[in-house]
Structure 1
């Protein structure tokens, strides 16, 4: 058939076709836009990855020095011209000046780095010979016992001042690169350009007659105030008589005249076997106890709290039979007794209130630690002034520095001179060096750097037996009211608190959030959903500091005052909703359809409010009937039994058992019975059935609770204990409020993403909307719902301000829902502003941050694996 179109029509058609083909070509601007967007997204993703890796690297760099070992900085050795046996040594905190005291009273002040003699003094002992010596923790106050039974006190310390450069005296001698000497003083330039000036302070007091026998052991403590200092010292004479003396000194501030009043008390006899000798005596700083060691392996503890009637409280063997106690000292704080033996063993003992009848005061010395033994007999022990460190010297010249709490040897040093002579060692006040002086006057000093001796992996994550505790435990206590208290850096209570807070928050948040998501996704009118979902998303924007403020100042006191109503509310609100649901079933179909949508939603809200008001009314009665009128008293275990609370806890489980039993036994017949009834009648019958099942559940739950009580189980003391106002219950409430919007939004989106044909197919097969939601929609959206829950958990784990303000910040390890807690994030927020940069607490707080980072990473990784599994199952539907 001939073509009837004209040439003009052909050209027009051709132009139209060409235009159509051109319109299918992608514009170059679009192509370049996609490329740029792809590049930006790629770079952004890589930057996020690099940022996360950078944070991890930074955290590791800050934390790793905690695990570094010590560093030796120097060692020096020289001979002093004492010409007498050295009996005492002291050094200043800058490792600049040292003082050595010889047996016949010669006192030499010397320059520690070079051994240069600075000054020489001579004490007049009136012909008496020193037979015992001891000093205070700072080593500047010394007690000397003599063979004539007298005791004298000496001051062997250092005075520190500052000298401006223009005031430096002439003729100074350069001792080394750092120090200048002149006029018996050492001048050291400091960062300001001025000079730190050090000199020795040497003084000898008058003799106090204590015994007519030689003093073989002595110990000395100084206390009181500047105006009224007190001196306490204990002595043992050659007859093994133990005495404790206390001197009270009154200083006239006008004339500087000192009046000394001394009282001496004889302690009960030790009754030592023939040939047994006393090796050491220690007196506590408070003067409440004295400890005597003997060469038969015993220590004897005196109770001196009542000086009018002192008692020998305890005699304890601390070594094997025939093994002498050769050295003994307190650690700083005087709660730890370090005992060194003839066989090289070093043990640490705590005095604990065990209630034993074997001692007169119910306390006993308990061995808390056994340190690595030294190769030979311990000849000297000396404690550090500021940490739980001590230096031990054995008969073969080994000089080991221990840290007691972390149970590690910090440095293994060794004498390079004559090891056959006895020696006295000390740790410098800043715990950065050791000085040892032999009886012959040979000095050897080591300088080192150990920044974090109190931290090991075992300290951070293991059980440690701290002073004052009855057993090894996990403790976080980075600061205390006194410098003598040691810091405790266990992260376990913080990890536990983090998981506890997240657990209780998710316990409240997940059922509410998922129930709300299922309801708005599957059952409510679209208009209701369009209103509810934005409101829920707006809740997520509330600042957590505001929520924490409300929890601490409003919610916590309210819950404490209305605890009975709160407990009733846990059961009353679900029951109110159930009663409302049954009432809705009884409505005529036309009325139910007309009220669907917003009216139904508002009726549900009204039902909740009414039920809450009923719970408030019933709260006092509930507390009176079940908890003997005082719930907080009941939690302490002072009144009642554990039956009421177990009844409440077991009630949901009992109802599930009753419901399952009913469905298995009568479920088919019951559904057939209701099938022929009209809607209202079926609703009434179903409500009656529910009430009967609820009554059966109440009876079953109480029977279970009574049975548990009969066999001796009581929840109090476990997950229920004494009530604190700021507790995990309040934290769970308010954190759930913060987490619910997050879980709800993501879960609701996941449920709505399920294809509609799956719902239609389920409904077409005869399933109810609830069955469709539970067995079709929810499994299909399981990966998204699980992701929503894990996102909520991630937020709960990392939450800071709510926990800081509402949790009480008590780092304890108990599941008690009515007690406080401290989380990793809250601990960082509280303590990091006060931590000294690069200090131990500073680095441990960064380790807490790294631990939180790793916990989040592990949780998210496991969650992603589970989510992928859910996703594969969903694809199979």
Structure 2
């Protein structure tokens, strides 16, 4: 009797099949584990995508304010108590107090937001009538010219103090929600709980007789040091005679006594036509040049560097024929000159060293840009103290605020009062407002915020003509030795530097990594591959900061000192390896098979060291023979021709051309010649063939290089120029060292993934392992290989520390392999720690990061599209 009852007709085979099916049933825990893992992977992938787009959104959010314009916050309008027109106006940096000087000498200090009069003073002009007025950049020092030929100087500034709340005087009167006043002082509460106290400083100096005729134009500058201040002023009288006076003040540090020495020089007369008069004059801060504008549309530039012999350096037309120059002003820094015309035109000029014989100093005024014209004649121009901005007022009362570098109109301010033809305007010191005083003491003040006036898309990606440059160009220079220099925010040099660094790195990395991948995948013994590949992958773990440190402090000086050996090494290493390969062919087959594998690999390494030793010892000889013993001096173009370097550059191409031509024309006959010979004889003939091809390539390269020289081509000044120690060659070396592991690992994996039957079929058809690897395996793995190259490119584009340390950080645009560069990533690393949060430089650096993000995104997207195309072709196999 059996222990269990089986179904009728049930056989042992059926029972076995049922047990096998039960054993193949997936356990419920496995199913749930797979579902959880799939969900986690899906969520993780989505989070990565969200994180990437989150980074992009954050970058865009930081960058967008760069493109936002200014915002007008409001304006006020009121009338000052003056008998005559206001001839000068000033305001403090907090837009709290204003100073207005009327033609009768009345000086009114008033509250800018409300127009309340704070204090009043009276200048005694001695009955003389003011005919000209000008002031310094800070507007606190003013010169008045009078109809009796005298000049007076005044101080019209502000005094700022801080008062603790407990020390506030009693009896303060409220001016508005922010300010209070007492005895000519305005008290403003600041964030710390203390109070800022503002009051005006009004002083008038004694008259100085300059001419017997009325002064029709004047300008005034204060410079020098605290111990030795200098005062310089220029005047033009009714006969258009120009005079420049300099007063040097020596202060005794012990007693405080001042000694003033004044010298006046009459400048060479202007050759003006009948009825032509001077309309304005400008004097530079150090009084080394003066510029006179006339009503016939000309400006006359004086060279005052030698006051004993001043010269009229240049006369230039700056306006159309018959159009008068009605206003002029320097921009901050006094390099650029803004000229306003009777027709409303606004032009910017600066001096440029051109070597022209038409001027006495070889410089000439160059028109750098034309701003949008005013609706009518320009009557007043006033510059900003901190930026390349100016405000222009025309005869119809239009007020426009311009930024010179970005060539844009920041604000077109509409007057709320009657139109007047006599106006004085100023930009507040912080460039956050404009004050206009018109006929009869009518004041109108505008307050605004401007975020980043110096930045436009054209500034970021276009050519801009900066002060002192010979032509419009791309320049990155966010800071300078002085705040008066105009910042230059072109991203093109940084993009160019990024592409240059990546290109030279890939020039070294891609061939080495791909050939290494082909070698370990198709030729080397598996045991050797098991050692070599992990070592190559370990290279990627080296910190790039260490690589950059070694490149900057070790490699760069060595390359500079042994540049001849480095150049020779590019040819000695491949030549030595090829020579070793031909010699290996001459070995008997048993010997070659015995030492194949690791011994052969050791011999290859030994040949590399021998080639490097030869290059090291022969480098000086090469430099003496081709470059007259000084390669670095040769790159400057001081001697020699471009033939030697072109010969070296063309040599590999010439060899490939000669080899390909031989194979196409005589390859079949050559194979027939050596086919029936033994291995040693065939090897000797192959060496002779190689030497003949090499000699022919050398002759061809030299002939082509000489022909290019005869045609006038010289690589110097192009991709070869002056040698700098930290250059793209060093960067290419070290970045290639960092990029090779990425490319090698991915490419080698792609090559090993090629099905083995394709290799077997190729070898069965008589192809050699080399032919199989190059024409069967490599095309099949093209998608993976291309992805490897693109991954390496992305790695090179985003590299930071190597280029920070080894590239010299010079944002220049030239393909010279011996010059430095600055990349987007390196620029961010260098400047972001010092950038003011939410400032212009800060946001432009984030724009650089966004640009880098877009570059890598585009590269990876194109790589993926091309990879998919290759993959479809490979699937057909």
TM class by smaller structure: over 0.9
How far apart in 2 are the matches of 1:614 and 1:172? 90
Matches within 5 A, 1:685-764: 685-764=685-764
Aligned residue number for residue 186 of structure 2: 186
Aligned residue number for residue 396 of structure 1: 396
Q: How far did residue 10 of structure 1 move? A: 6.5
Q: How far did residue 456 of structure 1 move? A: 0.2
Say if 2:396 and 2:421, in contact at 8 Å, map to a contact too: no
Q: How far did residue 74 of structure 1 move? A: 1.1
Q: How far did residue 16 of structure 1 move? A: 4.5
Q: How far did residue 98 of structure 1 move? A: 0.3
How far apart in 2 are the matches of 1:821 and 1:801? 13
CA RMSD in angstroms comes to 1.4
Say if 2:81 and 2:441, in contact at 8 Å, map to a contact too: yes
Q: How far did residue 602 of structure 1 move? A: 0.3
Aligned residue number for residue 453 of structure 1: 453
Runs of at least 5 residues in structure 1 that lack an aligned partner in the other structure:
none
Aligned residue number for residue 55 of structure 1: 55
Aligned residue number for residue 171 of structure 1: 171
Matches within 5 A, 1:267-416: 267-416=267-416
Q: Which moved more, 1:796-805 or 1:658-667?
A: 658-667
Say if 1:250 and 1:258, in contact at 8 Å, map to a contact too: yes
What per-residue deviation string (whole Å, max 9, x for no partner) do you get for residues 627-681 of structure 1? 1100000000012110000000011111122112211221110011111111111
How far apart in 2 are the matches of 1:6 and 1:404? 103
How far apart in 1 are the matches of 2:148 and 2:26? 112
Q: How far did residue 18 of structure 1 move? A: 3.8
Q: Which moved more, 1:675-684 or 1:594-603?
A: 675-684
Say if 1:87 and 1:439, in contact at 8 Å, map to a contact too: no
What per-residue deviation string (whole Å, max 9, x for no partner) do you get for residues 822-850 of structure 1? 00000000000000000000000000000
Secondary structure in 1 matching 2:440: coil
Q: How far did residue 253 of structure 1 move? A: 3.4
Secondary structure in 2 matching 1:471: coil
Q: Could you say if the C-alpha distance between residues 237 and 586 of structure 1 is closer, same or farther in structure 2, counting changes exceeding 3 Å?
A: same
**Residues 1:866 and 2:866 aligned together:** yes
Aligned residue number for residue 72 of structure 1: 72
Aligned residue number for residue 642 of structure 1: 642
Say if 1:149 and 1:212, in contact at 8 Å, map to a contact too: yes
Q: How far did residue 76 of structure 1 move? A: 0.2
How far apart in 1 are the matches of 2:93 and 2:176? 18
Q: Number of paired residues? A: 874
Q: How far did residue 61 of structure 1 move? A: 0.4
**Residues 1:420 and 2:412 aligned together:** no
How far apart in 1 are the matches of 2:107 and 2:550? 67
Q: Could you say if the C-alpha distance between residues 591 and 126 of structure 1 is closer, same or farther in structure 2, counting changes exceeding 3 Å?
A: same
Matches within 5 A, 1:532-543: 532-543=532-543
| Structure-1-length-normalised TM-score | 0.98
Aligned residue number for residue 778 of structure 1: 778
Aligned residue number for residue 766 of structure 1: 766
**Residues 1:96 and 2:96 aligned together:** yes
Secondary structure in 2 matching 1:440: helix
How far apart in 2 are the matches of 1:396 and 1:84? 20
Runs of at least 5 residues in structure 2 that lack an aligned partner in the other structure:
none
| Structure-2-length-normalised TM-score | 0.98
Secondary structure in 2 matching 1:366: strand
How far apart in 2 are the matches of 1:269 and 1:737? 69
Say if 2:379 and 2:421, in contact at 8 Å, map to a contact too: no
How far apart in 1 are the matches of 2:623 and 2:17? 85
**Residues 1:679 and 2:679 aligned together:** yes
Secondary structure in 2 matching 1:616: helix
Secondary structure in 2 matching 1:38: helix
Aligned residue number for residue 162 of structure 1: 162
Q: How far did residue 874 of structure 1 move? A: 1.1
How far apart in 2 are the matches of 1:410 and 1:212? 44
Q: How far did residue 246 of structure 1 move? A: 0.3
Q: Could you say if the C-alpha distance between residues 670 and 11 of structure 1 is closer, same or farther in structure 2, counting changes exceeding 3 Å?
A: closer
Aligned residue number for residue 825 of structure 2: 825
Q: How far did residue 7 of structure 1 move? A: 7.0
Runs of at least 4 residues off by over 4 Å:
5-17
How far apart in 1 are the matches of 2:6 and 2:339? 118
How far apart in 2 are the matches of 1:24 and 1:809? 65
Q: How far did residue 148 of structure 1 move? A: 1.3
How far apart in 1 are the matches of 2:475 and 2:561? 32
Matches within 5 A, 1:199-598: 199-598=199-598
What per-residue deviation string (whole Å, max 9, x for no partner) do you get for residues 87-127 of structure 1? 00000000000000111211100000000000000111122
Q: How far did residue 17 of structure 1 move? A: 4.3
Q: How far did residue 211 of structure 1 move? A: 1.1
Q: How far did residue 19 of structure 1 move? A: 3.0
Secondary structure in 1 matching 2:667: helix
How far apart in 2 are the matches of 1:733 and 1:307? 56
**Residues 1:38 and 2:38 aligned together:** yes
Say if 1:421 and 1:440, in contact at 8 Å, map to a contact too: no
Say if 2:420 and 2:439, in contact at 8 Å, map to a contact too: no
Aligned residue number for residue 617 of structure 1: 617
How far apart in 1 are the matches of 2:410 and 2:192? 33
How far apart in 2 are the matches of 1:820 and 1:32? 58
Q: How far did residue 192 of structure 1 move? A: 0.3
How far apart in 2 are the matches of 1:166 and 1:405? 47
Secondary structure in 2 matching 1:693: helix
How far apart in 2 are the matches of 1:21 and 1:453? 77
Secondary structure in 2 matching 1:573: helix
How far apart in 2 are the matches of 1:413 and 1:640? 62
How far apart in 2 are the matches of 1:243 and 1:735? 63
How far apart in 1 are the matches of 2:762 and 2:426? 84
How far apart in 1 are the matches of 2:149 and 2:6? 141
How far apart in 1 are the matches of 2:873 and 2:306? 77
